[in-house]
């Protein structure tokens, strides 16, 4: 009888690998050193568990997150994001607030 080993990767580890880092810890070190790191974020098409785990970890590390229109998650310390990205995020939030409950 053969046994199959299942290798489960936390969504943050997978995101870090997509961004070119060996691990989530390596990506965290880069972000704490001033980088804003970008990679495809977890998807919620089949389950929201991956997105939930990802965002819980991002929040617990004190990181800022911006999701662009292509599904990429931009992570880093808020002070390292460009003003243009922060302005876009605020405009998106205001539009969301205005349209809440209309549909």
Domain encompassing residue 42: 11-99
Based on the structure, what is the number of domains in the chain?
A: 1
Tell me, what's the pLDDT at 46? 82
pLDDT of residue 41: 94
SS3 5: coil
Is 55 domain-assigned?
yes
Residue 6 inside a domain? The answer is no
Q: How far apart are CA 63 and CA 75, in angstroms?
A: 6
In a domain, 5, yes or no: no
Q: Is 65 domain-assigned?
A: yes
In this prediction the pTM is 0.85
- Domain-located, residue 2: no
Q: Is residue 3 one of the residues assigned to a domain?
A: no
Chain segment 12-68, per-residue pLDDT in tens: 999 999 999 999 999 999 999 999 999 999 988 888 999 999 999 999 999 999 999
């Amino acid at each position: 009888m053969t046994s199959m080993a299942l290798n489960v990767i936390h969504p943050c580890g997978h995101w870090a690998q997509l961004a070119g880092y060996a691990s989530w810890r390596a990506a965290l070190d880069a972000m704490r050193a001033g980088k804003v790191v970008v990679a495809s974020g977890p998807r919620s098409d089949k389950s929201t568990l991956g997105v939930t785990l990802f965002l819980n970890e991002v929040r617990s590390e004190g990181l800022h997150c911006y999701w662009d229109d292509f599904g990429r998650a931009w992570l880093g310390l808020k002070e390292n994001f460009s003003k243009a990205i922060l302005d876009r995020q605020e405009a998106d939030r205001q539009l969301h607030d205005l349209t809440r409950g209309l549909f």
